[in-house]
Amino acid sequence: MRICLIAEGSYPYITGGVSSWIHSLIASLPEHEFIIFTIGAQEKQRGLFRYELPANVTQIKETFLDTYLREEGEWGRRFRLTATQRDAFRSLLGGSGSVDWAEVFNLLRTKKFARAADFLMSKDYFDVLTELCREKYSLVPFTEMFWTVRSMILPLFLTIRHEVPEADVYHSVSTGYAGVVGGLAKQLHGKPLILTEHGIYSREREEEIIKADWVKGYFKDLWIQYFYRLSECAYQYADRVVTLFGRNREIEVELGCDPGKIAIIPNGVNLAEYADIQKERDPAAFRIGAVVRVVPIKDIKTMIQSFAIVRREVPNAELYIIGPVSENEEYERECRQLAESLQVDGIVFTGEVDVKDYLKRMDMVLLSSISEGQPLAVLEAMASGLPCVTTDVGSCRELLEGPDDDIGPAGYVVPVMHYEQMAASIVKLSRNERLRHEMGRNGRERVSRRYTKEAFIESYRQLYRECEGG
C-alpha cells in the first residue's frame, strides 16, 4: 500500500514529539510504502533532515510556508468569480456560514491566474474584502486589513496550489495546513483520508495568538477564526479521525467533528528499551530531567522559576533541559537570561542528545507545557520507572493518575504556569525516595497495560487495512 503522510512543522526537520511518532510509525510498518508531504516553516530548512529516512520512504515533497514572502502578484485584474466562489472565499475570510472547501480548492487551483498572489491583488479580492469590512470591521483601517488578510491567506493558497502525489491512503498528522492538504488530496484523487490529532491544533494556535505581540488586538479574533476554519476542512474530509485520549475526542466533537468518525489510539513505547535504564544515579545529587524543545509552548520559563524555588529547598538539585535549543533562539536567550536574573545555578541545557543516556541519571521528569497531546516524554519517563511532575494539559492527568485503574499515581499534576505548586511537588519527591520508587513502579505498570508500542502499531496497521478496503 502507498500511504501519503502529510506533516506540518515537524518531521523530518524537528526531533521529538510528533516527529518521533511519525518516524516510529513508518519504520514499524516496512510492508507499506510511504510518501512524505511535509510543510515546513522556512525555506532554509530544505533538505536539512534531522532523521535518516526509513527505507520504505520512497518520496518526500517539501513545501514551505514562508515562500509567500517572495510571491508578487499583478495588481488590479478581474477574474470574474461565480457567486458560489465569492461566497466560499468570503466565508474563509470570516464571513457567515461554513466554508465550501470544494469551491475554494477549485478557485485557488484554477488556471485563470498564474500565481496565487495575482488573485490576492485582484479587484475580486478587493471587492470581497471591502464588503466584509463594511459589515464586520468598519472601525479597522482598511489598509491594515488588506495586508493582514493577504499575509494570512497567501501561505494557504500557495500550499493548495502544490501538486499532491497519488497514493492509496492519505494521512494528515494534524489539522491546519496539513489537514487542508489532506482534504485537497481526497478531492483530487478520491482516496481515503485519515486524520490524527495529537494536540488540538486550532486550540494551540488560539493560545499562541492570544499571547502574540505580532498580532494587533483587533486582528486576533480574525486569526483565531481562520485556524478553526482550517480544522473544519480536515474534519469534513476525513474518513477516520484518530485522537489519543478521551478529552481530545470531546473537544473534536465540540468543534464539529462527526463523533462516528473518531477512534482513540494511544501512543506507545517499547518497554524493553527502558528495562534497565536506571543505572547511573548519583546519590549526591537530585536530578530533574525535562525532555523538551526550548520553545514557548513548553513554558520553560515557568520551569526555571519553579526550579529557583526548588534550589532553595534542595541545594543539591540539578535541572537538565534535554532537547534542541535552536528552534527558537530568541526564546532560548530569554530563558537563559531569566535563569541569570534569578541567580539560580544547576541548570544545564543539553541540546540535542540521546535521551536514554540522560534518563539513566535522572531521579524524576518534569513537564511544564501549556499545551500537549499525549507526551511521549512522559510515557518514556514512566517506562523508565521515573516519577513525573507535569502541568494539567492533554492526557497528562490520565497518564499519571490512570483512567480508573487500580495501579496508583505515577506522579503529580499541577495547574498550568503555577510554578509554586510545581516546586512543592518536586520538593516532596526529592525528600521521599520510597515514594519515588513507588510512583516509578506504578508508571511502568501502567505503560505495560495500556501504552505499548506493539498495540499502537497494530492499531494503525489495522486502520490502514480498513481504509484501503473501504
- The per-residue DSSP string of 176-203 comes to HHHHHHHHHHHHHH---EEEEESS-HHH
Asked whether residue 169 is domain-assigned, the answer is yes
Beta strands in 119-205 (DSSP E): 169-172, 193-197
| CA-only gyration radius of the chain, Å | 24
* Beta carbons of 412 and 432 less than 8 angstroms apart: no
- 26 and 128 together in one domain: no
* Same-domain status, 190 and 255: yes
* Tens digits of residue pLDDT in 323-367: 989 888 999 999 999 999 999 999 999 998 989 889 999 999 999
User: Which of 264, 293, 317 is the last residue in one of the domains?
Assistant: 264
SS3 for 413-461 is EECCCCHHHHHHHHHHHHCCHHHHHHHHHHHHHHHHHHCEHHHHHHHHH
Res. 141: pLDDT tops 70? yes
DSSP 110: -
Asked if 243 and 262 count as a contact pair (C-beta separation under 8 A), the reply is yes
Residue type, 185: A
Residue type for position 326 = S
Last residue of a domain, one of 154, 171, 193: 154
Asked if residue 174 and residue 57 are part of one domain, the reply reads yes
Dist CA 460 CA 266 (whole Å): 11
Give the pLDDT confidence score for residue 405 in this predicted structure: 87
Domain for residue 216, yes or no? yes
> For position 13, what pLDDT does the model report?
94
Which of 80-84, 215-219, 400-404, 421-425 is least confident?
A: 215-219
In a domain, 112, yes or no: yes
pLDDT value at residue 16 = 82
Residue at grid coordinates 497494530: 458
DSSP 372: -
- Whether the per-residue pLDDT at 448 is higher than 90: the answer is yes
98 in the same domain as 231: no
pLDDT value, residue 391: 98
464 domain residue, yes or no: no
For residue 293, give the nearest of 101, 13, 4, 15 by alpha carbon: 15
pLDDT at 68 over 80: no
Identify the domain containing residue 225 by its residue range.
2-69+163-264
Is the per-residue pLDDT at 277 higher than 80? no
Residues 253 and 334 placed together within one structural domain of the fold: no
* pLDDT of res. 469: 66
Is the domain of 369 the same as that of 231?
A: no
Please say if the pLDDT value at position 374 is more than 70. Answer: yes
Average pLDDT over residues 47-53: 94
What is the average pLDDT score of the chain? 92
Strand order in the sheet with 169-172: 57-64, 33-40, 2-8, 169-172, 193-197, 240-243, 262-264
How confident is the model at residue 404, as a pLDDT? 81
Q: Encode pLDDT of 98-109 as tens digits.
A: 899 999 998 888
Domain-located, residue 465? no
98 and 50 housed in the same domain: no
Q: Is the dihedral of CA 186, 192, 196, 202 positive or negative?
A: positive
Residues in contact with 361: Cβ distance below 8 Å, sequence separation at least 6, in sequence order = 280, 281, 282, 287, 289, 320
pTM of the complete model beyond 0.75: yes
Q: Is residue 315 part of a domain?
A: yes
Are 259 and 121 within one domain? no
Q: Do 85 and 215 have their domain in common?
A: no
Average pLDDT score over residue span 262-281 = 86
Q: Are residues 30 and 107 in the same domain?
A: no
Sequential DSSP letters for 243-275: ESSHHHHHHHHHTT--GGGEEE----B-GGGGT
Counted domains in the chain: 3
Beta bridge partners, 287, equal: 318
C-beta separation of 51 from 23 below 8 A: yes
- Is residue 95's pLDDT more than 90? no
Q: What share of the chain in percent tops pLDDT 70?
A: 99
What DSSP string runs through 25-71? HHHT-TTSEEEEEEEES-GGGTT--SS---TTEEEEEEEEGGGGGG-
Quickly state the pLDDT bin for 279 (edges 50, 70, 90): low
195 has a pLDDT exceeding 80:
yes
Give 376-433 pLDDT, tens digit per residue.
Answer: 999 999 999 999 999 999 999 999 999 888 899 999 999 999 999 999 999 999 999 9
Sole residue written with cell 480574525: 222
Higher pLDDT, 250 or 211: 250
Q: In this structure, is residue 470 part of a structural domain?
A: no
- Look at the block and give the residue holding cell 514499524: 28
Task: Look at residue 284 in the predicted model and tell me its pLDDT.
Answer: 85
177 and 298 part of one domain: no
191 and 327 housed in the same domain: no
Q: In the listed set 98, 126, 154, which residue is the last one of a domain according to the structure?
A: 154
- Of 69 and 220, the structure prediction assigns the larger pLDDT to 220
CATH number assigned to the domain comprising residue 191:
3.40.50.2000
In a domain, 463, yes or no: no
Query: Residue 218 CB: number of other CB atoms within 10 A?
Result: 14
